[in-house]
C-alpha cells in the first residue's frame, strides 16, 4: 500500500488526487458529486431565480406606480405577486445560503468533502427540477395565485380549481426535499467530518451557525411539508382537513404554515450572519469577540424563533392572553439579535478596521437590518399589529429584514469569497457604484412604503383609487425600485466582469485566518492535498503557511489508496480522529433518482394518481442502487492515515456518519408526524362541526395486532444484530420483514373496515392519514429488513461491519414507537371526539 511509502512530491500528489476527485468534462459533469462544483451550481442557480423574482417585483411596482393601473388585471397580478414571494423565499434565499454552506463548510472545517456527496447532488437536482416546474408553470400561465402563504380555503379546490395551487404544493415540496437533504448533510458533516483536533469549541463560527440552522430546518420544514401534503390530499382526494363544513379548519393551515414560516426567517438570516461573523473579524484584524456569547445567542434565536409563529395570526381571534405570550417571545428575540449585533461592534471596537467592499455591504446590512428589526418589534405589539397587519407596512418591514439581513450581507460575502471561488481579485469602482445604487434605491422604495401601509393600503391589491392618497408614495416606491434594480444589475455585471477579466488574486488576499484559504485558489477538487491537525480555534490559524505544508503532504491522508476518495471522520465533541470515510465516486445516480422523484411529482400534478403510486417504489429502487458501491466485503481493520496513526474505515466504525444521518432524518420524520398529530388535536379543539355523525370504529384486535407486529419487527431486528454472523441472523431479519408485512396487512384492513367514508369528516380523514403514515413506515421496514438480508448474503455484513443492520434497526425502533403513539392517538381522538365538542 502506498501509505507506507515515503512522501510523494506535491505535484505527484496533486495529480493522483485530481485523477480521483475531479469532475469529468463534457456531459460527465452531470455525474459530479463534488461539493465545490455543487456549491457553485446552487449559487448560480439561485442567482438566476433571483433575477426572475426581481423581474416579477418590477412588474408589481409597475402595476402599483399609479392608481387605477390598467397594466395587469387582478388574476395575472395575483400570479405575479405569488410567484415573486415564492421564488424569492424558496428558490432564491434558501438555496443561496445552502450553496455558500455547501461550497465553504468542508473547506472551513478541514475536510475534502461532505459526508454524503451524492446526497448533495440529489439535493441540487431536486431543487433545480422543482424550481423549474414552477417557472414553466408560470410561463404557461398557470402560476399559483393564492399568495405565497397559500391560505386555505382560497387555495382549496372549490375556489382554485385549476392546477395553479397544485403546482405550488408539489413544486415547493419537491424543493423542500432538497432542503431537508441539505440539512441532514450539513448537520452530520459538521458534527462528524472535520479535521483532526477540531473540537466543537474550535470550530469556525460559521460551522456553528450552520449546525444550528440545519437543526432548525429539520424541525421547521416538516410542518410545511405536512401542510402541503394535507392540502394536496384535500385537493386531490377531497379529504376535508381545511373545510369547516366537514370538521376541518382553515386555521390549521395557518398554524402549520407559520410554524415553518417564522423560523424560516431566522433560517435565512442566520447563515448570512454567520458569513459576516466569518469575514468581519478579518477586516477588523482580530478574531470575533464573544465567540461563546454568539453561539449562545444563535442557539437562543433558534429556540425562540419557534415560539413566534402566532404573531402572523393576531387578527384571527385568538384570546389576548395567548397572543401576549407570543408577543413576548417575538419581542424578546430582539435580545439575542442585539447580542449578535454588538458582538460585531465589539469586534470592530477592539480591532483596527480596514475599509473594503465587503465591509461596505456590512454597513448596508447594519443600516437596513436594524430598521427591519425595530419595525419587527413594533409588529410584535398586538394592538399596533392589528392596524399594520396585512398592509404595505408589513411588506416594507419584511423587505428591510430580508434584504438587510440576507441579501446585502450575502453580496458582501460573495465579494469576499470571489477570489476564492474564481482566483480573481475584485476591483473597486464599479462595485462601489453598485452598492450605493442598491442602497439608495432600496431605501427610497421601502422607507416610503411604511407610510403607505400606515395610510391604509392593504397588501395584494392590484389597484387603488386616487382619492386614497397613496399615489405619490407608490410612485416614489416604484421609482426607487427601478433604481434598486439598476443597482443589482450593476453588481451582477461587476461580478461577471470579475469572474471573466479581473487580474489573478494572490493566495489569501484578505489575510484571513481560516482554513478555506489554506489551499490554492480556485480550489482543487479535493480541497486539501493532506488534512491538517488543528491545535487552536480555527479562526486564528495561519493559512498561508499551512497551505504550503498541506500541499507538500505534511498532513494526514497525503496519498491515494485503491483509487478511493478518502477523508477523515472525527469523534463528535472532542474532534479526535475516529475513522477514514470512503466517499462515493462520481455517478449519475443522483440525477436519475431526482428525475424519478420528479416523475412522481409530475404524475401527481397531472392527476395520474395510480401511476404516481407506482413511481414511489421506483424512487426507492433508485436509492437502493446507491448502496451497491458502499461497504466492504471483508474485514480490513484499521488503516494508516499518515504520521503513524491508524483508523478504521467508516463501515467498520461504531459511529459512522450514516447512522447519524438516519437519526437526523428520523428527527425530521418525527416532526412531520408530530405536526400531523397536533393537526388532529387542533381540529378537535378548534374546528366547527365536531363531533362527526359517524365515528370510526377501530375495534380492539387490529390496533393491538399492529402494535404487536411492530414490536416484533423491532425485536427481531435487534436479535439479528446481536447474532450477526451466526445462523439466527438472516432468519431473524426475514421474520422482521414478515412482521412489518403483517402490520401492513392489519393497517390495510383497519383502513378498509374501520374508517367510515374519509371524505365526510376531518376526523376520519386524519385517522386515515395516520394509518397511511404508519403503513408507509412498515413498507419501508420491509425494504430495510430485506436489504439487511441481501447485504448479509453478499458478505457486506460481519460482526465488525454492522452499519447496515444498525441503520435498519433505527428505522424499526422508530416505526415501533410511531405505531404505539399512533394507536394511542387514534383511539384517544375517537374517544374524546365521541364525548362531544371540545370545551
Partner 1 sequence: MFPMFAAAGVSGCSGDLSTLSPAGPVAGSIATLWWVMAAGAALIFLIVMVLFLLVWLRPNFGRSFSQRAWILGGGLAFPIPLLVPLLVYSFQQGEILLHIGGPTETPVRIEARARMWQWEFIYLDEDTAPSTVGVLHIPAGALVKVTATSEDVIHSFWVPRLSGKVDAIPGHRARVRFLANTPNTYRGACAEFCGSGHAGMLFSVQVHKPEDYARLIKAARDTSLRASLAQVHP
**Binders in 301-330 for partner 1, by CB under 8 A:** 315-317, 320, 323-324, 327-328
* Nearer of residues 334 and 741 to partner 1, judged by Cβ: 334
How near is the Cβ of 837 to partner 1 at its closest, in Å? 13
* Nearer of residues 199 and 463 to partner 1, judged by Cβ: 463
Residue selected from 86, 123, 182, 375 as contacting partner 1 according to rule CB under 8 A: 375
- 398 forms part of the interface with partner 1 (CB under 8 A): no
* Nearer of residues 146 and 481 to partner 1, judged by Cβ: 146
- 147 forms part of the interface with partner 1 (CB under 8 A): yes
Give which of 749, 747, 766 is closest to 833, Cα–Cα.
766
- Spell out the residues 6+ positions from residue 338 whose beta carbon is closer than 8 angstroms to its own: none
Whole-angstrom CA distances from 254 to 235, 313, 577 are 17, 8, 46
Residue selected from 388, 491, 538, 771 as contacting partner 1 according to rule CB under 8 A: 388
Residue selected from 463, 540, 630, 749 as contacting partner 1 according to rule CB under 8 A: 463
- Spell out the residues 6+ positions from residue 298 whose beta carbon is closer than 8 angstroms to its own: 208, 209, 212, 270, 273, 274, 336, 340
- 331 forms part of the interface with partner 1 (CB under 8 A): yes
CB atoms within 10 A of CB 438: 25
Q: Do 548 and 530 contact (CB within 8 A), yes or no? A: no
Q: Do 529 and 550 contact (CB within 8 A), yes or no? A: yes
**What is d(CA 126, CA 176) in angstroms, rounded to the nearest whole number?**
9
Residue selected from 54, 95, 117, 153 as contacting partner 1 according to rule CB under 8 A: 153
Phi and psi at residue 639, in whole multiples of 5°? Answer: -115, 155
Residue selected from 384, 479, 678, 820 as contacting partner 1 according to rule CB under 8 A: 384
How near is the Cβ of 348 to partner 1 at its closest, in Å? 5
How near is the Cβ of 337 to partner 1 at its closest, in Å? 9
Residue count, binding to partner 1 (CB under 8 A)? 85
* Nearer of residues 156 and 525 to partner 1, judged by Cβ: 156
Q: What character string, x for contact with partner 1 (CB under 8 A) and - otherwise, covers 214-253?
A: ------------------------------xx---xxx--
Stretch that binds partner 1, among 16-24, 29-37, 464-472, 660-668 (CB under 8 A): 464-472
- 366 forms part of the interface with partner 1 (CB under 8 A): yes
Whole-angstrom CA distances from 449 to 69, 76, 398, 458, 556 are 18, 23, 11, 11, 57
* Nearer of residues 368 and 702 to partner 1, judged by Cβ: 368
Residue selected from 40, 425, 455, 507 as contacting partner 1 according to rule CB under 8 A: 455
* Nearer of residues 398 and 821 to partner 1, judged by Cβ: 398
> Which residue's C-alpha cell is 452531470?
30
646-705: which residues touch partner 1 (CB under 8 A)? Answer: 687-689
Whole-angstrom CA distances from 15 to 39, 167, 330, 414, 517 are 23, 47, 54, 30, 20
* Nearer of residues 373 and 480 to partner 1, judged by Cβ: 373
**What is d(CA 24, CA 13) in angstroms, rounded to the nearest whole number?**
19
Residue selected from 14, 30, 31, 151 as contacting partner 1 according to rule CB under 8 A: 151
* Nearer of residues 293 and 790 to partner 1, judged by Cβ: 293
Cα 246–chain centre separation = 34
- 353 forms part of the interface with partner 1 (CB under 8 A): yes
**What is d(CA 423, CA 406) in angstroms, rounded to the nearest whole number?**
25
Pairing of strands 577-583, 565-570: antiparallel
Q: What character string, x for contact with partner 1 (CB under 8 A) and - otherwise, covers 68-107?
A: -----xxx--x-----------------------------
Q: Do 223 and 306 contact (CB within 8 A), yes or no? A: no
**What is d(CA 317, CA 159) in angstroms, rounded to the nearest whole number?**
24
Q: What nine digits make up the cell of 510?
A: 484578505
Q: What nine digits make up the cell of 2?
A: 502506498
253-292: which residues touch partner 1 (CB under 8 A)? Answer: 289-290
Stretch that binds partner 1, among 87-95, 346-354, 722-730, 822-830 (CB under 8 A): 346-354
- 385 forms part of the interface with partner 1 (CB under 8 A): yes
**What is d(CA 214, CA 271) in angstroms, rounded to the nearest whole number?**
10
- 377 forms part of the interface with partner 1 (CB under 8 A): yes
Q: What character string, x for contact with partner 1 (CB under 8 A) and - otherwise, covers 535-564?
A: ------------------------------
- 468 forms part of the interface with partner 1 (CB under 8 A): yes
Q: Do 130 and 179 contact (CB within 8 A), yes or no? A: no
Give which of 200, 204, 108, 205 is closest to 515, Cα–Cα.
108
Residue selected from 19, 461, 654, 697 as contacting partner 1 according to rule CB under 8 A: 461
- 3 forms part of the interface with partner 1 (CB under 8 A): no
Amino acid at each position: 500500500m502506498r501509505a507506507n511509502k515515503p512522501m510523494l512530491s506535491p505535484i505527484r500528489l496533486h495529480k493522483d488526487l485530481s485523477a480521483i476527485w475531479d469532475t469529468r468534462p463534457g456531459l460527465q459533469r452531470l455525474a459530479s458529486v463534488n461539493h465545490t462544483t455543487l456549491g457553485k451550481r446552487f449559487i448560480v442557480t439561485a442567482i438566476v431565480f433571483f433575477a426572475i423574482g426581481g423581474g416579477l417585483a418590477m412588474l408589481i411596482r409597475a402595476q402599483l406606480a399609479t392608481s387605477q393601473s390598467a397594466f395587469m388585471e387582478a388574476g395575472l397580478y395575483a400570479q405575479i405577486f405569488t410567484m415573486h414571494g415564492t421564488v424569492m423565499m424558496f428558490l432564491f434565499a434558501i438555496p443561496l445560503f445552502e450553496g455558500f454552506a455547501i461550497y465553504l463548510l468542508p473547506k472551513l472545517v478541514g475536510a475534502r468533502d461532505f459526508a454524503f456527496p451524492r446526497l448533495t447532488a440529489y439535493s441540487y437536482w431536486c431543487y433545480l427540477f422543482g424550481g423549474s416546474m414552477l417557472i414553466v408553470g408560470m410561463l404557461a400561465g398557470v402560476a399559483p395565485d393564492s399568495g405565497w402563504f397559500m391560505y386555505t380555503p382560497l387555495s382549496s379546490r372549490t375556489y382554485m380549481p385549476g392546477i395553479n395551487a397544485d403546482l405550488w404544493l408539489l413544486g415547493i415540496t419537491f424543493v423542500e426535499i432538497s432542503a431537508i437533504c441539505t440539512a441532514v448533510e450539513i448537520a452530520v458533516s459538521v458534527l462528524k467530518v472535520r479535521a483532526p483536533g477540531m473540537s466543537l469549541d474550535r470550530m469556525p463560527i460559521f460551522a456553528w451557525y450552520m449546525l444550528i440552522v440545519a437543526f432548525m430546518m429539520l424541525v421547521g420544514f416538516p410542518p410545511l411539508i405536512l401542510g402541503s401534503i394535507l392540502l394536496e390530499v384535500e385537493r386531490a382526494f377531497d379529504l376535508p382537513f381545511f373545510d369547516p363544513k366537514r370538521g376541518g379548519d382553515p386555521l390549521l393551515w395557518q398554524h402549520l404554515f407559520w410554524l415553518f414560516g417564522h423560523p424560516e426567517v431566522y433560517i435565512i438570516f442566520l447563515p448570512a450572519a454567520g458569513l459576516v461573523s466569518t469575514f468581519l473579524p478579518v477586516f477588523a484584524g482580530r478574531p470575533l469577540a464573544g465567540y461563546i456569547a454568539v453561539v449562545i445567542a444563535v442557539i437562543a434565536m433558534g429556540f425562540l424563533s419557534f415560539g413566534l409563529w402566532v404573531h402572523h395570526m393576531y387578527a384571527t381571534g385568538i384570546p389576548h392572553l395567548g397572543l401576549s405570550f407570543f408577543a413576548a417571545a417575538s419581542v424578546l428575540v430582539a435580545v439575542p439579535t442585539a447580542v449578535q449585533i454588538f458582538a460585531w461592534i465589539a469586534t470592530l471596537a477592539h480591532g483596527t478596521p480596514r475599509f473594503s467592499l465587503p465591509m461596505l455591504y456590512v454597513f448596508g446590512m447594519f443600516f437596513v437590518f436594524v430598521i427591519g428589526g425595530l419595525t419587527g418589534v413594533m409588529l410584535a405589539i398586538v394592538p399596533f399589529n392589528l392596524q399594520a397587519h396585512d398592509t404595505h407596512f408589513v411588506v416594507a418591514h419584511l423587505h428591510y429584514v430580508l434584504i438587510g439581513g440576507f441579501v446585502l450581507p450575502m453580496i458582501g460575502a460573495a465579494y469576499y469569497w470571489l477570489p476564492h471561488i474564481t482566483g480573481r481579485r475584485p476591483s473597486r469602482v464599479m462595485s462601489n457604484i453598485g452598492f450605493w445604487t442598491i442602497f439608495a434605491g432600496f431605501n427610497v422604495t421601502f422607507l416610503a412604503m411604511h407610510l403607505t401601509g400606515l395610510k391604509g393600503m392593504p397588501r395584494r391589491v392590484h389597484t387603488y383609487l386616487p382619492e386614497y392618497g397613496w399615489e405619490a408614495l407608490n410612485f416614489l416606491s416604484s421609482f426607487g425600485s427601478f433604481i434598486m434594480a439598476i443597482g443589482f444589475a450593476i453588481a451582477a455585471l461587476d461580478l461577471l466582469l470579475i469572474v471573466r477579466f479581473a487580474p489573478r488574486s494572490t493566495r489569501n488576499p484578505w489575510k484571513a485566518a481560516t482554513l478555506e484559504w489554506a489551499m490554492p485558489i480556485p480550489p482543487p477538487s479535493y480541497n486539501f492535498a493532506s488534512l491538517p491537525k488543528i491545535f487552536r480555534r480555527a479562526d486564528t490559524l495561519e493559512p498561508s503557511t499551512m497551505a504550503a505544508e498541506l500541499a507538500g503532504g505534511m498532513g494526514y491522508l497525503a496519498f491515494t489508496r485503491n483509487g478511493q476518495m478518502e477523508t477523515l471522520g472525527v469523534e463528535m465533541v472532542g474532534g479526535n480522529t475516529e475513522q477514514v470515510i470512503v466517499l462515493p465516486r462520481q455517478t449519475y445516480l443522483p440525477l436519475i433518482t431526482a428525475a424519478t422523484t420528479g416523475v412522481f411529482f409530475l404524475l401527481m400534478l397531472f392527476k395520474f394518481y395510480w401511476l404516481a403510486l407506482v413511481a414511489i417504489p421506483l424512487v426507492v429502487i433508485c436509492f437502493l442502487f446507491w448502496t451497491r458501491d458502499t461497504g466492504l466485503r471483508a474485514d480490513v481493520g484499521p488503516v494508516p492515515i499518515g504520521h503513524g496513526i491508524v483508523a478504521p474505515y467508516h463501515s467498520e466504525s461504531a459511529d459512522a456518519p450514516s447512522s447519524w444521518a438516519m437519526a437526523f432524518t428520523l428527527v425530521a420524520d418525527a416532526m412531520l408526524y408530530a405536526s400531523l398529530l397536533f393537526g388532529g388535536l387542533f381540529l378537535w379543539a378548534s374546528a366547527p362541526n365536531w363531533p362527526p355523525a359517524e365515528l370510526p370504529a377501530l375495534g380492539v384486535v387490529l390496533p393491538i395486532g399492529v402494535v404487536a407486529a411492530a414490536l416484533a419487527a423491532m425485536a427481531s431486528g435487534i436479535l439479528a444484530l446481536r447474532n450477526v454472523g451466526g445462523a439466527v441472523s438472516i432468519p431473524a431479519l426475514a421474520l422482521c420483514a414478515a412482521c412489518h408485512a403483517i402490520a401492513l396487512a392489519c393497517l390495510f384492513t383497519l383502513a378498509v373496515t374501520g374508517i367510515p367514508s374519509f371524505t365526510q369528516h376531518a376526523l376520519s380523514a386524519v385517522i386515515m392519514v395516520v394509518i397511511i403514515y404508519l403503513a408507509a413506515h412498515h413498507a419501508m421496514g420491509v425494504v430495510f429488513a430485506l436489504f439487511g438480508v441481501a447485504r448479509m448474503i453478499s458478505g457486506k455484513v460481519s460482526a465488525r461491519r454492522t452499519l447496515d443492520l444498525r441503520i435498519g434497526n433505527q428505522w424499526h425502533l422508530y416505526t415501533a414507537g410511531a405505531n404505539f403513539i399512533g394507536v394511542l392517538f387514534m383511539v384517544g381522538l375517537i374517544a374524546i371526539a365521541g364525548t362531544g365538542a371540545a370545551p
